[in-house]
Amino acid sequence: MQDTYGTVLAQVGNPTPEAPPGSEKILQLVRYLTWFVLLSGICGITYAGGKFAWERWTGGGLESPKMVAGAMIGGVVATSAGTIMSAVIG
């Protein structure tokens, strides 16, 4: 009797994940948000680059290199979020 249960439990496989009904709308929203994050990163780097040029031309204080660095770090985190989650989840 005990051997039969061990055989049955050993035959249970690892189930493959399946998306729930209606998940396509959520995935579409995630794709839109990803697009918006990338667009805002590009706009941030463009704005900071223009401000950096203006500060160099007028001789003002240099605050924009911090903005460029922040936008670039944010872009790296935003684009690698999927890879990081895949590594964490398995």
pLDDT per residue as tens digits for the range 34-52: 888 888 888 888 888 888 8
Look at residue 46 in the predicted model and tell me its pLDDT.
Answer: 87
Tell me if 55 sits within 8 A of 61, measured CB to CB. yes
SS3 14: coil
Rounded to whole angstroms, what are the CA distances from 60 to 7, 19, 25, 67, 68? 76, 54, 48, 15, 17
Share of the chain above pLDDT 90, in %: 1
Query: Per-residue confidence at 6, pLDDT binned at 50, 70, 90?
Result: low
Higher-confidence residue: 27 or 11?
Answer: 27
pTM of the model: 0.59
Res. 69: pLDDT tops 60: yes
- The C-alpha atoms of residue 24 and residue 80 are separated, in whole angstroms, by 22
